[in-house]
Amino acid sequence: MKIRENLKKIRKAWSENQEEFGRHFGLSRNNISSYEKSSANPPMEMLLKLEKMSGIQISRWMEEELEPRDLPAHPIEDNTDSEPESPAYKKLRPEELTDFLKLIEVVVELTEEVKDLKNRVQELEDRG
């Protein structure tokens, strides 16, 4: 998933260390470090808030390798003490959010596999 690389990029674009970045989401430096190292998945609550604070859709965070020019230089909206206001978020229980994140990961992995297959087919067609 691209989100892990992108988290580090936006944190650096905001000129924040892991502790400062984690405060936006009520998370510790260790949490942020584990997300950046791919040893843990960021919670859906964080992703929803990150979407709101960056103006970049979750799907782009997960599917694309974002460039510095794509990222805002600072948080668009820093609602450190509030929960995301998405109606979908309020309808889901925490375990459903976890399941939803896992589903998104599977879709992203499958999308990357399809892209790889398309590239292989193109290479074979180019060879004749």
- pLDDT for 69 beyond 60: yes
- The pTM (predicted TM-score) of the whole model is 0.58
Burial of 39 (0-12, 13-18, 19+ CB in 10 A): exposed
- Mean residue pLDDT of the chain comes to 82
Q: Give me the helix-helix angle, 3-13 and 29-36, nearest 10°.
A: 130
Residue 73 — very low, low, confident or very high, per pLDDT cuts 50/70/90? confident
CA distances to 32, 88, 98 from 95, rounded to whole Å, are 21, 14, 5
Q: 128 or 41: which carries more pLDDT confidence?
A: 41
Q: Contact, 72 vs 82, CB < 8 A?
A: no
Q: Which residue is it, tokens 């948080």? A: 75
18-22, 62-66, 98-102, range with the lowest pLDDT: 98-102
Domain boundaries, the chain: 3-127
Q: How confident is the model at residue 21 (pLDDT cuts 50, 70, 90)?
A: very high
| Helices within 14-77 (DSSP H only) | 18-23, 29-36, 44-54, 58-63
